[in-house]
Amino acid sequence: MGKPTGFMEYKRVVSKEEDPRTRVSHFREFKEHLPQEQQQLQGARCMECGVPFCQSGMMLCGMASGCPLHNLVPEWNDLVYTGNWKQAYNRLKKTNNFPEFTSRVCPALCEAACTCGLNGDPVSTKENEYAIIENAYEQGYAAPKPPKVRTGKRVAVVGSGPSGLAAADQLNKRGHQVTVFERSDRIGGLLMYGIPNMKLEKRIVERKLKVMEEEGVTFIPGVDVGKDMKADKLLHDFDRVILACGASNPRDIKAPGRDAKGIYFAVDFLRANTKSLLDSDFADKKYVETKDKDVVIIGGGDTGNDCVGTSIRHGCRSVTQIEMMPKAPDQRAENNPWPEWPKICKTDYGQEEAIALFGHDPRIYEATVKEFLKDQDGNLHGVKIVKLSWEKDPATGRMNMKEIPGSETVLPADIVLIAAGFLGAQRYVAEAFGVELNERTNVKTAPGQYRTSKENIFVTGDMHRGQSLVVWAIREGREVARAVDESLMGYSNLVV
């Protein structure tokens, strides 16, 4: 695939990014992508490696190696190289419903497993994917293609995040009539309100939703199933129901002073910010104002980084990100060999911006919150943190964290954003449908299955597997669609 010697002839080249000091003045995407001719040379770098780990999606040491969607990466890299853009789009769409999303927000598990990256730089597969899908829209390949035959079967999807949308897209292509319910005022779930605009502009989400509508999918926003609409009505009106409501319970921080004014969950902070941007370009002031304020973010993951970038764009005075874990190595450790996912330190766009503006990395590693400090009016004014050490328990062999005596410090803080992950499905939805939850508070199914404990009700995405990546959500959406299709028709020709 590609050019057999291409990885030796051409160096890896990726999109240029706008300077961090200027891009913080707006909420638009900030990458300048390669011209088509240069992108084709990047496709040439895909070596004929024989064993394409990039598309394997296998689990190694508890982590995914390669694409969970099993994208046919070498095939469409080769088609990019030879300029067969329409065929490249057709191959890409066989396995991925939403390359316009994954080419922007996926952490590129394919590239981490690329054979070319073993002794050099991996193929720029994510950028090739972006070029394929954007060219498809420009040339009309991605235009609506409604199914020619309808089955007469009706399916309700509760939740419009990437998993729910993938399930809806697959089932609609099969000919079933699909209706997607969303409790927010806009369709898209995590894609709309969980990912900031500078990572995924909402016009990109709306573009795909318009295609799906023209293909026959019905979207009903502003309906909170389980509250505004009874579960029994859905079960009466539809042949099958798919729950795709996400893992919506944010993990809290239980420390003295938690009731101080100025503490928010990251998901609420990001949602309010994007909604205000879309509704009024921030004129309505219905977002958490960080201008000239000291911001402390608890959590070192992608959501925490998004909070860093958002806070900076609103003009915060300072931003600090607290991470319980030690700093990961800058290079692969010997016990983390290729093609495992590389457990290395990643400096993302928000942290890059903090470094550019404030002169230092915003992250403090191996630390946790000891106390939230508030004034006599209950307003937050500081956070007391303590450093941690990780020690092995001789009895169990497990690593436990312990506070280091005398290591307490106080950080100035007007705003605290809790980005500590999520704990599972919201109970009111599960209770409304009468489905069982497992010990992780996700909806219970048999291993590898999507049927719940209740007849005709299926589950998918984060509500099923717990908080995860967009690419895993799409895979789950495709798999639940096949399971629903089989239950309706007795067989399925949907590809997963």
Identify whether the C-beta of residue 1 lies closer than 8 Å to the C-beta of residue 72.
Answer: no
Query: What's the rounded mean pLDDT across residues 133-146?
Result: 97
Identify whether the C-beta of residue 438 lies closer than 8 Å to the C-beta of residue 431.
Answer: no
- What range defines the domain where residue 13 resides? 6-139
If you average pLDDT over every residue of the chain, what do you get? Answer: 96
Query: What's the rounded mean pLDDT across residues 8-37?
Result: 97
Q: Is residue 146 part of a domain?
A: no
pLDDT digits (tens, 9 = 90+) for 53-88: 999 999 998 889 999 999 999 999 999 999 999 999
Give pLDDT, residue 3: 85
In this structure, are 57 and 202 located in the same domain?
no
391: CATH: 3.50.50.60
Q: Is 114 exposed, middle or buried (0-12, 13-18, 19+ CB in 10 A)?
A: buried
Amino acid of residue 411: L
Q: Is residue 254 part of a domain?
A: no
Give pLDDT, residue 112: 95
Give pLDDT, residue 119: 87
Please confirm whether the linkage preceding 339 is cis (ω < 30° from 0). yes
Is residue 256's pLDDT more than 90?
yes
In this structure, are 431 and 392 located in the same domain?
no
Confidence band (pLDDT; 50, 70, 90) for 50? Answer: confident
Name the nearest CA neighbour of 471 among 106, 110, 187.
Answer: 106
Give pLDDT, residue 396: 86
Taking the CA atoms of 223, 226, 232 and 238 in sequence, report the sign of the dihedral they define.
positive
In this structure, are 414 and 467 located in the same domain?
no
- State which of 376, 397, 418 marks the end of a domain: 418
- At 93, phi and psi to the nearest 5? -75, -15
Q: Is residue 257 part of a domain?
A: no
Give helix 73-81 / helix 125-139 axis angle, nearest 10°.
60
Q: How far is the C-alpha of 57 from the C-alpha of 63, rounded, in Å?
A: 9
Give pLDDT, residue 62: 87
Amino acid of residue 377: D
68: CATH: 1.10.1060.10
- State which of 116, 139, 162 marks the end of a domain: 139
Place of tokens 């090739």: 128
Least confident of 228-237, 280-289, 347-356, 387-396: 387-396
In this structure, are 191 and 208 located in the same domain?
yes
Give pLDDT, residue 406: 95
Is residue 248's pLDDT more than 90?
no
Provide the domain count of the chain.
Answer: 3
pTM of the model: 0.96
C-alpha count within 13 angstroms, C-beta hemisphere, residue 76: 30
Ranked by mean pLDDT, which of 113-117, 200-204, 247-251 comes out on top? 200-204
Q: Is residue 147 part of a domain?
A: no
Q: Where are the alpha helices (DSSP H) in 224-300?
A: 231-237, 266-280
Q: Is residue 255 part of a domain?
A: no
Amino acid of residue 333: A
- State which of 111, 139, 167 marks the end of a domain: 139
Query: What's the rounded mean pLDDT across residues 304-317?
Result: 98
In this structure, are 410 and 280 located in the same domain?
yes
Q: Is residue 148 part of a domain?
A: no
Q: How far is the C-alpha of 367 from the C-alpha of 385, rounded, in Å?
A: 6
Give pLDDT, residue 286: 98
In this structure, are 267 and 222 located in the same domain?
no
Identify whether the C-beta of residue 117 lies closer than 8 Å to the C-beta of residue 338.
Answer: yes
Is residue 196's pLDDT more than 90?
yes
Give pLDDT, residue 424: 86
In this structure, are 167 and 205 located in the same domain?
yes
Is residue 471's pLDDT more than 80?
yes
Give, for 43, the enclosing helix (H) or strand (E). helix 36-44
Give pLDDT, residue 2: 78
Identify whether the C-beta of residue 456 lies closer than 8 Å to the C-beta of residue 474.
Answer: no
In this structure, are 398 and 439 located in the same domain?
no
Name the nearest CA neighbour of 77 among 15, 14, 6, 139.
Answer: 6
Give pLDDT, residue 392: 85
Name the nearest CA neighbour of 166 among 469, 491, 488, 411.
Answer: 469
Q: Is residue 253 part of a domain?
A: no
Is residue 469's pLDDT more than 90?
yes
In this structure, are 391 and 452 located in the same domain?
no
Is residue 302's pLDDT more than 80?
yes
Of all residues in the chain, the percent with pLDDT exceeding 70 is 100
In this structure, are 268 and 387 located in the same domain?
yes
Structure tokens, 86: 């329409």
Is residue 177's pLDDT more than 80?
yes
Q: Is residue 234 part of a domain?
A: yes
Q: Which long-range contacts (CB under 8 A, 24 or more apart) does 138-147 make?
A: 139/85, 139/86, 141/85, 141/86, 141/89, 141/90, 142/89, 142/211, 143/211, 144/211, 144/212, 144/214, 144/215, 145/215, 146/214, 146/215, 146/216, 147/172, 147/173, 147/174, 147/175, 147/215, 147/216
Q: How far is the C-alpha of 424 from the C-alpha of 364, rounded, in Å?
A: 27
In this structure, are 326 and 226 located in the same domain?
no
What are 243's strand-pairing partners?
A: 158, 459
Q: How far is the C-alpha of 232 from the C-alpha of 457, rounded, in Å?
A: 11
Give pLDDT, residue 163: 98
How many degrees, rounded to 5, is the angle at CA 32 between CA 30 and CA 35?
A: 160
* DSSP-derived 3-state class of residue 63: strand
Confidence band (pLDDT; 50, 70, 90) for 398? Answer: confident
Is residue 1's pLDDT more than 80?
no
Ramachandran region, residue 163 (left: φ > 0; alpha: ψ -120 to 50; beta: rest): alpha
* DSSP-derived 3-state class of residue 130: helix
In this structure, are 403 and 277 located in the same domain?
yes
